[in-house]
């Protein structure tokens, strides 16, 4: 946890996109101060599975952070915010359009208070353009960024993907931008504003579909198993087609349950060996599949033959047949598969943690492996757990000052006085 040691982040973000970004940076050693209003991040109470405890929605996105609660509606709370701004390298937010401005803290004001600070901002559609004031959520971003229209089968409805490409994908983009801006700040002494729109992030993750969009103006897409033609306009939903130069698809295996599938990629170099194994010399010499262009044209029949062979094997047994033939393949792994997988556990991608409210739970691990500074994953903070610690350690406040600020309602909503 040395890579970002010495970098301090004031994290005002909430829900998923921002917290994903700040959790990754915390795992790389940044001191992330989660700056919450007195009610806390809304996800603390959403989808609760343990009464009166922070939800998994919160704990799985906020590891390795310190929590401070501040009431920004009080003058004293705003002063604490300003003092923290001056001590931080990065400030992050994913409020709706104009929220920070209404508190009196536009980017221009923040930059004036601390010219070296980098500001990271996540918006649904950015701060400019006709969509700037629209609200966005994960599936809205998938819909408007091109992912939904290209996911599923042509005769069915568009589908969202289970991967949170709108929220978590945007958080990853923001982390890259913040690190680049920090690098420039260290060189020039001047911070900058880093914005990532969820719609923009989804578009970037769909770039191969925009490749195909342009190819369609000149030709049919021969690798697709569904009909395409020049000038058809939108890239179609291609089911489980690989979407690349090599043919790929999911093959159903026994006992034919919802996740009993093996994804198989038929590369040019492996066809002869694969054909010999599943259909003998007759299939290996079948003119319908002789070259990749032939297999593309007749791919639905090729997949039918492979599926017919696979019906007597489980996905793992079929994988064991294909691996010695150098056929790229992988089983469709459900959440239970992954939670109990030796490979996943061995790479610290499913990590058990303990929490004072909820007890033991499992967290997805750090996907970025740094050889010289491996991540150490620690539990998420309870609401306001580190308020006094941050005020003393970061701002140098003494007990008397903290006490007077508490009395003034800087860290909580003051109780209503009786009439």
Which residues are marked as active site?
Answer: 167
> 125: which 2 tokens?
């559609």
The whole-angstrom separation of Cα 265 and Cα 292 is 12
The set of long-range contacts for 189-194, using a CB threshold of 8 Å and a minimum separation of 24, is 189/115, 189/116, 190/115, 190/116, 191/111, 191/114, 191/115, 191/116, 191/117, 191/118, 191/119, 192/118, 192/119, 193/107, 193/111, 193/119, 193/121, 194/118, 194/119, 194/120, 194/121
Phi-psi region at 56: left, alpha or beta (left = phi > 0; alpha = psi -120 to 50): alpha
Q: Closest Cα partner for 61 from 398, 357, 379, 412?
A: 379
**Distances from the Cα of 38 to the Cαs of 60, 74, 99, 349, in angstroms?**
21, 12, 17, 33
Beta bridge partners of 90: 9, 118
**Distances from the Cα of 208 to the Cαs of 245, 249, 338, in angstroms?**
11, 17, 27
The whole-angstrom separation of Cα 233 and Cα 300 is 23
Which residues touch 168 (CB under 8 Å, ≥6 apart)? 16, 17, 20
**Distances from the Cα of 197 to the Cαs of 91, 94, 171, 173, 390, in angstroms?**
17, 10, 10, 9, 31
Q: Closest Cα partner for 219 from 235, 204, 206, 237?
A: 235
> 413: which 2 tokens?
């909503």
**Sequence-ordered strand ranges (E) for 188-259:** 193-197, 247-252
**Distances from the Cα of 283 to the Cαs of 274, 295, 308, 323, 325, in angstroms?**
9, 12, 13, 20, 16
Helix (H) or strand (E) holding 33: strand 31-36
């Amino acid at each position: 946890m040395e890579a970002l040691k010495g970098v301090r982040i004031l994290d005002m973000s909430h829900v998923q996109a921002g917290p994903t970004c700040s959790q990754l940076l915390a795992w790389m050693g940044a001191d992330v101060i989660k700056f919450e209003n007195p009610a806390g991040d809304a996800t603390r109470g959403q989808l609760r599975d343990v009464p009166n405890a922070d939800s998994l929605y919160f704990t799985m996105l906020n590891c390795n952070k310190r929590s401070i609660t501040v009431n920004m509606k009080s003058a004293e709370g705003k002063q604490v915010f300003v003092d923290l701004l001056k001590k931080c390298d990065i400030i992050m937010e994913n409020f709706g359009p104009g929220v920070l401005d209404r508190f009196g803290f536009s980017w221009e004001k923040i930059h004036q208070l601390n010219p070296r600070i980098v500001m990271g901002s996540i918006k649904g559609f950015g701060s400019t353009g006709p969509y700037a004031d629209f609200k966005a959520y994960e599936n809205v971003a998938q819909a408007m960024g091109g992912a939904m229209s290209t996911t599923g089968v042509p005769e069915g409805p568009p589908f969202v993907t289970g991967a949170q490409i709108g929220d978590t994908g945007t958080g990853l983009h923001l982390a890259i931008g913040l690190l680049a801006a920090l690098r420039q700040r260290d060189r020039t002494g001047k911070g900058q504003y880093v914005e990532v729109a969820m719609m923009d992030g989804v578009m970037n993750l769909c770039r191969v579909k925009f490749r195909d969009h342009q190819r369609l103006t000149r030709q049919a897409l021969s690798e697709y198993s569904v009909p395409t033609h020049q000038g058809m306009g939108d890239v179609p939903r291609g089911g489980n087609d690989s979407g690349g130069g090599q043919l790929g698809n999911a093959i159903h295996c026994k006992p034919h349950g919802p996740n009993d599938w093996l994804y198989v990629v038929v590369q040019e170099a492996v066809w002869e060996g694969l054909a010999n194994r599943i259909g003998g010399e007759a299939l290996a010499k079948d003119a319908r599949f002789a070259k990749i262009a032939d297999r593309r044209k007749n791919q639905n029949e090729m997949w039918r033959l492979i599926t017919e062979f696979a019906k007597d094997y489980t996905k793992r047994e079929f994988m064991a047949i294909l691996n010695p033939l150098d056929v790229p393949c992988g089983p469709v792994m459900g959440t239970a598969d992954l939670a109990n997988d030796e490979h996943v556990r061995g790479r610290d991608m499913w990590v058990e943690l303990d929490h004072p409210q909820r007890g033991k739970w499992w967290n997805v691990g750090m996907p970025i492996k740094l050889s010289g500074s491996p991540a150490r994953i620690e539990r998420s903070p309870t609401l306001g757990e580190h308020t006094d610690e941050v005020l003393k350690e970061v701002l140098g406040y003494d007990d008397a000052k903290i006490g007077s600020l508490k009395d003034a309602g800087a860290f909580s909503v003051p109780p209503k006085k009786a009439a």
